[in-house]
Structure 1
């Protein structure tokens, strides 16, 4: 092969290598540039921040139009779980952990890297007193190389790293579910609080109207001279007090609506209309499990328990990984390189185009001999982290048991009070009608009428409050048990 042929061959190699490296640099060659999920880790991520709670029945989960009129609890929960920043953060954390699992799995595959170096080489040599030995070389030079490394054995380091990543993913998934359960319960509580406030406001308006009617009746009796002026003044005072209470309850209602709107990631002043508080589920004492069985089941299956267990497993895997990092690593290594550095037979001889090649394949052993005692302390820290997560798991179990106990007792109390409130409304209504007829007939006094009127107003408000308290307690118990699902709010 003559010099011209060698030069043309070198230029072809240079162009091919340049194209290869350009593709690599521009991101057209690596698989990651195409967004390939080669390990299928995205299957661990739900399609929306709301997870299994998203209303998939519409075919458009987490896509909403105008707020419903009236706003149902189902829609409020869907909007909150889809749009609340906290649920989005939990969803993003699952994505991060899923990607970390893919990273841990990639450690089992070989790594390949390529490099290209090119430039203009202008070389001149002036040999003093020997001009015939002088030389000048001007050429475009390049060098390319491809290297590979494949870890064959690392004493369980990669396995521990993968176990750690998978455990943290499981913890993130369980934490997301626990947060969704908590957010579900919070939105339901705020929804029922707003509904209760709306019911109280309606009853406060009725009470204000009754107080006005009483004032009108008392004024008529005073004008006819059959009642003292004190009756008119007392009813006027009661009317003013009813107006004061109605104004105060109206402020509580607006505050409750603003809180509910904020839960749904809307402005607090967003107009919301709720159904009547009498509509919806009614109380029923339908407990099928003992509280002890509920506590035991929740301490085994609650998402918060699953998250704590997964974090403990991750800490144990991290401890194993830390230990393995201090042991030898056996790898299969290889490299191929090529360059077009010109060759010369000796000093003063002309340089000729040439192609140089070099390659090797072999086994590489990396042995960490001394790390400044850092490995000892990192291992100790990993062991302590395992102890910490064990204590956290025990704390979570204890808290779950207490939450179930409190929620169970709150639901039982709300169930009984709802029955008591219904009875109270019935009796108070009869008492008020009797007092009103007695006063109209002139055989009753104004204090009797005002007392009956106030008692009826309070009883009606307690009835609305007891209904919404029972519904909220029911949701909260399901959340404490870790059993909340869409069926708890959809008929």
Structure 2
């Protein structure tokens, strides 16, 4: 007995020591790196001082894991094919992780509805209990001590039924909460796809702008070289100076730098497009340009009818409304806790038992029984728990209502701002187009005048730079108009398919 007590005490001491020494798994201080493998042997038990490593150099690197190097394979594409916007959206819809997350959340919400509705049905359970007990009793018989061994064993098996018959609508309210949340999750799933369509569309137009920008930079380089050729020709004919040639070479170098910068911006925009699609950054795909796309006409969403139509189909507004309805149903769930509940229970069981004493015949028996019970539980006192739950439910419902109204107001504000942004972008494009036409005429005239000895190289290079700036401004305004149109379609809740994104029209 003493040995058992000592062993038990030692085991408890070792187990309690694990919690204390588990702290060694963390870094020693805020300024020292965590050393992988340090003080993490097969056990958390105290280690001898010889087994502990000394302080390591300040190196916050971590040991590599080959399991983290496996990347998802990029989507299969057709070599040489130039992909249009709807095809890019289709690829992203099938491979973007964000839509898969939204899908799983919708499935979880749907399963929650099934869980809530299952509470209307009874539950059945089978139980089996068995055991044996042996006792040794020393008895003095005619001056001699003898041990009398007795054994009691038995088993019981039963099938039990439990059924909540009436609960003043608590389960129905809980099922309503689950259904509203499922509706919100399904709406958010569609909303995730709408957001994906918009993000890919925006990235596509931004990438198209960089494609056009690279073409403009290339054309500007050719214009600069034309000025340089003219300067060199004038110098050979004795009409120009080395200063003019140097100025022209400087303009060429500046154009080459702009071309390199434009190529870098194009690569960055390409990676941004792949990121919006949710595919591998190593994916190589040819993307159609958007520089020649027709711009939409200006749109005004200030009418109450258009705003009401948009509010009736925006996913965030609809999901917020479903969440508000779920909050109201949650109040009914909390109120039902104050009411009694009626249960029904049934059991059917059978048991066997035996008694065996040394030197006596074995005694055994079998029993069976069935029964049905109906009862009611009436809550009387719980220390204010139900009242607190009711107040919490009312608070959640109030917060959901406020969130819904806030979502409505933000949606309307987004519509008005998006409409104004589109009108401004279209106006900027018209102004930039006029500027480009004027700058083109100025450049042609300045170059011809310089070639014929009637102008200066300074005027020619200035005209070249002005033409580049005007063309870039028109490209930026064109992309901004397309993006603003896509944003307006998104906030109006009409960007619901790849085809809708590819043909944006407003009335």
**TM-score bucket (shorter structure):** 0.7 to 0.9
2:318 is equivalent to residue 306 of structure 1: yes
2:120 is equivalent to residue 108 of structure 1: yes
Shift of 1:442: 1.6
2:381 is equivalent to residue 374 of structure 1: no
Shift of 1:480: 0.3
Q: 1:251 to 1:64 in 2, by over 3 A?
A: closer
What is the count of residue pairs matched by the alignment? 426
Contact residue 277 and residue 467 of structure 1 kept, 8 A: no
Shift of 1:67: 6.6
Aligned to 2:406: 395
Aligned to 1:15: none
Q: Which moved more, 1:334-343 or 1:270-279?
A: 270-279
TM-score (structure 1 length as normaliser): 0.79
Q: Whole-Å Cα distance in 2 between the matches of residues 141 and 214 of structure 1?
A: 108
Shift of 1:484: 1.1
Shift of 1:433: 2.1
Aligned to 2:340: 328
2:202 is equivalent to residue 189 of structure 1: yes
Q: Whole-Å Cα distance in 1 between the matches of residues 249 and 305 of structure 2?
A: 56
1:360-384 deviations in whole A, cap 9, x for unaligned?
1021212222222121212111111
Shift of 1:288: 8.0
Shift of 1:66: 2.4
SS in 2 for 1:99: helix
Q: Whole-Å Cα distance in 2 between the matches of residues 196 and 490 of structure 1?
A: 16
Shift of 1:233: 2.1
Shift of 1:336: 0.9
Unaligned stretches of 5+ residues in structure 2: 1-73
Aligned to 2:98: 86
Contact residue 187 and residue 263 of structure 1 kept, 8 A: yes
2:270 is equivalent to residue 261 of structure 1: no
Q: Whole-Å Cα distance in 1 between the matches of residues 433 and 213 of structure 2?
A: 15
Aligned to 1:284: 296
Q: Whole-Å Cα distance in 1 between the matches of residues 464 and 200 of structure 2?
A: 34
1:216-231 paired onto structure 2 within 5 Å: 216-231=229-244
TM-score (structure 2 length as normaliser): 0.76
Aligned to 2:217: 204
Shift of 1:490: 4.8
Aligned to 1:471: 482
SS in 1 for 2:338: coil
Contact residue 92 and residue 279 of structure 2 kept, 8 A: no
Match of 1:171 among 168, 184, 193: 184
1:53-94 deviations in whole A, cap 9, x for unaligned?
xxxxxxxxxx94127732322232233333333322222211
SS in 1 for 2:291: coil
Shift of 1:348: 9.4
Contact residue 299 and residue 397 of structure 1 kept, 8 A: yes
2:165 is equivalent to residue 156 of structure 1: no
Aligned to 1:450: 461
Q: Whole-Å Cα distance in 1 between the matches of residues 415 and 272 of structure 2?
A: 26
Match of 2:444 among 433, 443, 452: 433
1:310-340 deviations in whole A, cap 9, x for unaligned?
1111111112112212321101110111112
2:265 is equivalent to residue 252 of structure 1: yes
SS in 2 for 1:489: helix
Aligned to 2:417: 406
Aligned to 2:252: 239
Q: Whole-Å Cα distance in 1 between the matches of residues 232 and 428 of structure 2?
A: 38
Q: Whole-Å Cα distance in 1 between the matches of residues 98 and 495 of structure 2?
A: 18
Q: Whole-Å Cα distance in 2 between the matches of residues 67 and 381 of structure 1?
A: 56
Runs of 4+ more than 6 Å apart: 123-128, 134-140, 346-349
Aligned to 1:339: 351
